[in-house]
Amino acid sequence: MSIAEKTLKTERIYEGKVINLRVDTVELPDKKYSKREIVEHPGAVGIIGISNEGQVILVRQYRKAVDDFLLEIPAGKMEPKEDPLECARREFKEETGYSASNFHFLSQCYTSPGFSNEKIFLYKAENLFKGIAEPDEDEYIEIVKIGFTKALAKIAKGEIQDCKTIMAILMAKETR
Amino acid sequence: MSIAEKTLKTERIYEGKVINLRVDTVELPDKKYSKREIVEHPGAVGIIGISNEGQVILVRQYRKAVDDFLLEIPAGKMEPKEDPLECARREFKEETGYSASNFHFLSQCYTSPGFSNEKIFLYKAENLFKGIAEPDEDEYIEIVKIGFTKALAKIAKGEIQDCKTIMAILMAKETR
């Protein structure tokens, strides 16, 4: 039976722009001890936008952490106390220029619960209308529109390497 | 157009048991600068085991990072230079006691490419035979078997909160 771990000590290692790092010393059920390295994250949203022609709106961007260009759904981190749906509307507009009259909640889940509290809220956006993108000043984003069937094929071929994007496409398929 | 970011400086913040943290100063395409906080992770595997009776083998465990008990597919981090498939066989056996004669590759993807290089390799395990679980000494795991339809219902109801688990169940459904 799994039991919650009592924190005996917290060591704060780093306070950053996006993440913080702390190391907790915890007591295990058998009175042994262990260290838990924990990355604190404010939470994020991801939006699978589907155009009126049935195309999926993706973004391609360089990701320093993996040193590669990834094809992803538009996404971004939440501001303090920001409502996830409001954040989704904001990020979708900023990154792609699109607004949507229909946001449908798909899922909320932890991306890496073994070492981080990052939770991502996923939405499907439909009934799109185009405006002007306003990405953050350190974001360089290319918009890529592909048909839904092609998106599924890209998952099967391993050409989409981002977990939240794979998840959002498969969940959007479930709710079509 | 998205362009790779040149690293001007790397500051190593923390070297841990599971993760390391570094902060890179990067040059952006317009000659501005930014900081990238990067969590280095050795990579992981996740296994959706499906019993001969069609049940999904899940594990419930306390996750300190999110301070909650999560229902997940068996998973674990890779040892240095370990082959992902070998790691999957090892972790599946250690956590659940099950071996499988049929491991089917589902996907490899990044869990949080905005701040981490963690890549997870997902497999579907079938033709299971039961042995004895041997979890790591700081793991306390409860094994939960549920029917495939019930697993899908738990996703819809938000009772499965782990991204890799949702992804693995949906991908296993695609390949049934």
pLDDT in tens, B79-113: 989 999 999 999 999 999 999 999 999 999 999 99
Give domain status of residue B1, yes or no: no
Which of A13, A64, A72 has its CB closest to that of B5? A64
- Give the pLDDT confidence score for residue B137 in this predicted structure: 73
CA A46/CA A171 separation, integer angstroms: 12
User: Could you tell me the CA-to-CA distances from A111 to A76, A115, A119, B103, B176 in Å, in that order?
Assistant: 14, 10, 6, 24, 25
Instruction: Find the closest chain A residue to B116 by CA distance.
Output: A65
Shared domain for B130 and B163, answered yes or no, is yes
Count of pairs with CB atoms under 8 A, one residue in A, one in B: 206
List phi, psi (to 5°) of A148: -60, -40
| pLDDT over 90, % of chain B | 86
| pLDDT at position A26 over 60 | yes
Catalytic residue among A86, A118, A137, A142: A137
CA B73/CA B144 separation, integer angstroms: 10
Q: Is B4's CB within 8 Å of A62's CB?
A: yes
Shared domain for A33 and A96, answered yes or no, is no
Shared domain for A74 and A119, answered yes or no, is yes
- Give the pLDDT confidence score for residue B13 in this predicted structure: 98
- Give the pLDDT confidence score for residue A93 in this predicted structure: 96
Q: What is the CATH number of the domain that holds A74?
A: 3.90.79.10
Shared domain for B10 and B82, answered yes or no, is no
CB A78 within 8 A of CB A120: no
The whole-model pTM stands at 0.95
At A113, list the tokens. Answer: 């619960």
| pLDDT at position B1 over 60 | no
Give domain status of residue B14, yes or no: yes
pLDDT band for position B40 (cuts 50, 70, 90): very high
pLDDT band for position A135 (cuts 50, 70, 90): confident
Give domain status of residue A137, yes or no: yes
CB within 8 Å of chain B, chain A residues 98-127? 107-120
Shared domain for A62 and A16, answered yes or no, is no
Q: Does A170 touch chain B (CB under 8 A)?
A: yes
Chain A positions touching B7 (Cβ under 8 A) are 64
Give domain status of residue B50, yes or no: yes
Q: Is A65's CB within 8 Å of B114's CB?
A: yes
Shared domain for A110 and A149, answered yes or no, is yes
**Least confident range of A52-61, A124-133, A147-156:** A124-133
Neighbours of B127 (CB within 10 A): 12
The whole-angstrom distance between B49's CA and the closest CA on chain A is: 19
Give domain status of residue A1, yes or no: no
Q: Is B141's CB within 8 Å of A2's CB?
A: yes
Instruction: Find the closest chain B residue to A158 by CA distance.
Output: B107
Shared domain for A22 and A81, answered yes or no, is no
Shared domain for A72 and A135, answered yes or no, is yes
Mutate one of A9, A109, A165 to test the B interface: name it (highest B CB count within 10 A): A109
Shared domain for A170 and A94, answered yes or no, is yes
For chain A, the residue count is 176
Shared domain for B56 and B75, answered yes or no, is yes
Q: Is B163's CB within 8 Å of A75's CB?
A: no
CA A73/CA A55 separation, integer angstroms: 12
CB B62 within 8 A of CB B142: no
Chain A positions touching B170 (Cβ under 8 A) are 167, 170-171, 174
CA A106/CA A175 separation, integer angstroms: 9
Phi-psi domain of A113 (left: phi exceeds 0; alpha: psi -120 through 50; beta: other): alpha
List phi, psi (to 5°) of A106: -105, -50
Shared domain for B86 and B144, answered yes or no, is yes
CA A157/CA A80 separation, integer angstroms: 38
| pLDDT at position A1 over 80 | no
Q: Is A111's CB within 8 Å of B111's CB?
A: yes
CA A69/CA A144 separation, integer angstroms: 13
Q: Does A53 touch chain B (CB under 8 A)?
A: no
Q: What domain range is A23 assigned to?
A: 6-40
| pLDDT over 90, % of chain A | 86
Read off the pLDDT of residues A98-110 as tens digits, 9 standing for 90 and up.
999 999 999 999 9
Please report the sign of the dihedral spanned by the C-alpha atoms of residue A105, residue A107, residue A109, residue A111: negative
Give domain status of residue A11, yes or no: yes
How many domains are contained in chain A?
A: 2
Shared domain for B162 and B125, answered yes or no, is yes
Give domain status of residue A21, yes or no: yes
Give domain status of residue B162, yes or no: yes
